[in-house]
Amino acid sequence: MAETDGRLYGRHRSHSLSQRQQALYESLLPRLRIDCAKAAPNDLGKLFASPKSDVWLEIGFGAGEHLAWQAQQQPDIGIIGCEPYINGVAKLLSQIELDGLQNIRIFDDDARLLFDWLPDASIGRVFLLFSDPWPKKRHRKRRFVTLVTLDQLARIMRPDAQLRVASDVGDFVRTTLLAIQSHDDFHWLNNGPSDWRSRPSDWPETRYEQKAIGAGRTPVYLSFARQ
């Protein structure tokens, strides 16, 4: 049986962009967008204007507030953000312009389309924060964490790279932990319950997380290491 139903997420929007967002979408995005038609540089840091000590990847950045925060805190690190939701990409573009961020590249499509393009052991940290939980049983195969995506992540992540996952959906957390713990290339960095109940200080709150907490749900924060 296939590991995933293979469904890919095309670009989509929920409402029209403001004039400013539309202008940034047309002028700034083409400069930041990763073009998979061109071969990836062996040193991914070359995607950025100035040298970078590492490159991180955020999958499904939503409105991009976590990504923009990380980029601001770590100007010597390049961050690639993947998000097919056009309104989310537009919000991140506004933040990039507002803060003058120079260390972000965008893949505005399904992250899985980027995986084959990325060189082996090229990514030092991966964020998967509040990934779509697909709560219905018949949709569970659409969840992002599968043995197939874990194999792909294991290839592109360097040894000791971190994979950070957050979720407010118990069943998503359970299946993610089971999948990752059964995968030989990852181990859970778990130093007791306070570890996964509280968000580390270098991990800012996301928009979805605020909504989840407001609705009375309790997020779980998991960090794994690529061995």
**Chain-centre distance for alpha carbon 172:** 16
With contacts defined by CB under 6 A, name the span among 82-90, 115-123, 154-162, 186-194 that binds ligand SAM. Answer: 82-90
* Token code pair at residue 189: 């960095």
Q: Which stretch binds ligand SAM (CB under 6 A): 33-41, 58-66, 93-101, 219-227?
A: 58-66
Residues 6+ apart with CB under 8 A from 108: 11, 29, 33, 82, 83, 84, 86, 89
Output the smallest distance, CB 51 to ligand SAM, in A: 27
Q: Is 68 in the site for ligand SAM (CB under 6 A)?
A: no
Least distance from ligand SAM to the Cβ atom of residue 19, Å = 23
> Per rule CB under 6 A, is residue 129 in the interface with ligand SAM?
yes
Nearest alpha-carbon partner for 199 in 223, 173, 174, 177: 223
Q: How far is the CB of 151 from ligand SAM (least distance, A)?
A: 16
Tell me, by CB under 6 A, how many residues bind ligand SAM: 22
Q: Among this protein's residues, is 132 annotated catalytic?
A: yes
- The type of residue at 88 is G
Q: Which of 24, 32, 48, 60 binds ligand SAM (CB under 6 A)?
A: 60
- Tell how far CA 143 is from the center of its chain: 14
Binders of ligand SAM among residues 162 to 181 (CB under 6 A) are none
Please give the single-letter amino acid code of residue 174.
Answer: R
59 counts as binding ligand SAM under rule CB under 6 A:
yes
Among 171, 215, 223, 217, residue whose Cα is nearest residue 196: 223
Query: Given the complex with ligand SAM, which of 61 and 224 has the nearer CB atom?
Result: 61
CB-based contact 110:80 (threshold 8 Å): no
Q: Which stretch, 80-88, 172-180, 183-191, 214-222, contacts ligand SAM (CB under 6 A)?
A: 80-88
132 contacts ligand SAM (rule: CB under 6 A): yes
Helix 86-99 vs helix 19-27: angle between axes, to the nearest 10 degrees?
Answer: 80
Q: Is the dihedral of CA 107, 113, 119, 124 positive or negative?
A: positive
Residue 203 contacts ligand SAM per CB under 6 A:
no
The one catalytic residue in 110, 116, 132, 160 is: 132
Which residues of this chain interact with ligand SAM, rule CB under 6 A? 9, 59-62, 82-85, 88, 110-112, 129-132, 144, 206-209
